[in-house]
Amino acid sequence: MRNAAFVVFIIIVGGAAFIAYNAYFIVHQTQTALVLEFGDPTRVITKPGLYWKTPVVQTVEFFDKRILDVEIVEKEVTASDQKRLKVDAFARYKIVDPLQFFKTLTDEAGAHARIDNVMDAAMRSVLGGTPFIDVVKVKREELMRQIAERVNGEVKNFGIEIVDVRIKRADLPEANSQAIYERMKTEREREAAEIRAEGSEQAKRIKATADRGVTVTIADANRDSESLRGEGDAERNRIYAEAFGKDPDFFAFYRSMQAYEEGLKSSDTRMVISPNTEFFQYFNSPNGKMFAPPQRGPSVPAPAAPTSSQAAR
């Protein structure tokens, strides 16, 4: 009997503990709670603390009060200048009305799916009316603000608030990027060819100018040299003329010495010539006077002319 009473006591204590465990719950500082009774919301708890509920009949749904992130699936958008873009973005939101959030979206997974759809429409609307260069560079901050405003206008009835929208990457598709790269490469090659052509033309112009300058300089130098040479020759002839006029014998002697220097080189010089010629006049006489050839009598025959072989010897 005593054992039966002890078992009953244990069952009662265990049941009470189970009821107490399921009747109380804790709401943390980073959470809000929604108490449901047979699936219908009855209370919203926003302050942290220890609370109670009816076991079995009531359940509790917890929602994070902190700012939450949602990654947006990569979208392909056409800009106003018909350039296709791949846009990778994300949004930050927070749950401001847990009851409305639960009624419309149920949980965070539903919220992420709905925000993704709204973001898709907002990005196509905003980016579709903007040129490519504004999306990737010039007005990116302004465009993100416009997208956030549009998304907020769409999701305010879901019990959430969009805190921020960021475009992480906005690039051309791979095929378009390659085509643009090739076009840019072709354009740069064309510019390089133009610059080379201009450089070559300028080089030819400079070379032609230099060649013309060289030709003119050489021509002027030749002219001046010929003029100086003519003046020198004239001066030389004048000096020769004066010298001849002052002392004709000395001038004749000097010219003969020059002739000997030019005619009688240090090499093996051979001459077949009569010694009584005018060329050897200073060999025959210091004064350069010519000796008359000796007269031969009729009985003395003149020497025979040397043959060609004797002349060569």
Q: Is the pLDDT at 104 greater than 80, yes or no?
A: yes
Looking at the structure, tell me whether residues 52 and 89 fall in a common domain.
Answer: no
* Residue 196 confidence class, pLDDT cut points 50, 70, 90: very high
For the record, the structure tokens of 294 come out as 């000796």
Looking at the structure, tell me whether residues 74 and 152 fall in a common domain.
Answer: yes
What is the spatial order of strands in the sheet that 40-45 belongs to? 40-45, 31-37, 58-64
pLDDT per residue as tens digits for the range 137-182: 778 888 888 999 999 988 888 999 999 998 888 777 766 666 667 7
Residue 128 lies in a domain: yes
Looking at the structure, tell me whether residues 19 and 60 fall in a common domain.
Answer: yes
pLDDT per residue as tens digits for the range 28-73: 999 999 998 888 888 898 899 888 888 778 888 999 999 999 988 8
The domain in which residue 47 lies consists of 2-64
For the record, the structure tokens of 313 come out as 């010897």
CATH of the domain at 72: 3.30.479.30
Partners of residue 40 on adjacent β-strands: 37
Here the contacts of 15-18 (C-beta below 8 Å, separation 24 or greater) are 18/55
Looking at the structure, tell me whether residues 72 and 60 fall in a common domain.
Answer: no
Looking at the structure, tell me whether residues 122 and 110 fall in a common domain.
Answer: yes
* Residue 313 confidence class, pLDDT cut points 50, 70, 90: very low
Q: What is the pLDDT of residue 62?
A: 92
Of 298 and 33, the one with more pLDDT = 33
Amino acid at 127: L
Q: What is the pLDDT of residue 182?
A: 76
Residue 7 lies in a domain: yes
- Answer for the pair 81, 132: CB distance below 8 angstroms, yes or no: yes
Work out the end-to-end distance of the chain between its first and last CA atoms, rounded to an integer number of angstroms.
177
Looking at the structure, tell me whether residues 39 and 53 fall in a common domain.
Answer: yes
Residues composing the chain: 313
pLDDT per residue as tens digits for the range 9-20: 677 767 666 676
Query: Which of these three, 172, 202, 226, is where a domain ends?
Result: 172
Residue 168 lies in a domain: yes
Query: Which of these three, 138, 172, 206, is where a domain ends?
Result: 172
Query: Whole-angstrom Cα distance, residue 226 to residue 236?
Result: 15
Degrees to nearest 5, angle at CA 258 with 252 and 263? 120
Residue 52 lies in a domain: yes
Query: Whole-angstrom Cα distance, residue 5 to residue 15?
Result: 15
**Per the structure, how many domains does the chain have?**
3
Residues 6+ apart with CB under 8 A from 58: 35, 36, 37, 42
Looking at the structure, tell me whether residues 147 and 198 fall in a common domain.
Answer: no
Query: Which of these three, 43, 64, 85, is where a domain ends?
Result: 64
Residue 235 lies in a domain: yes
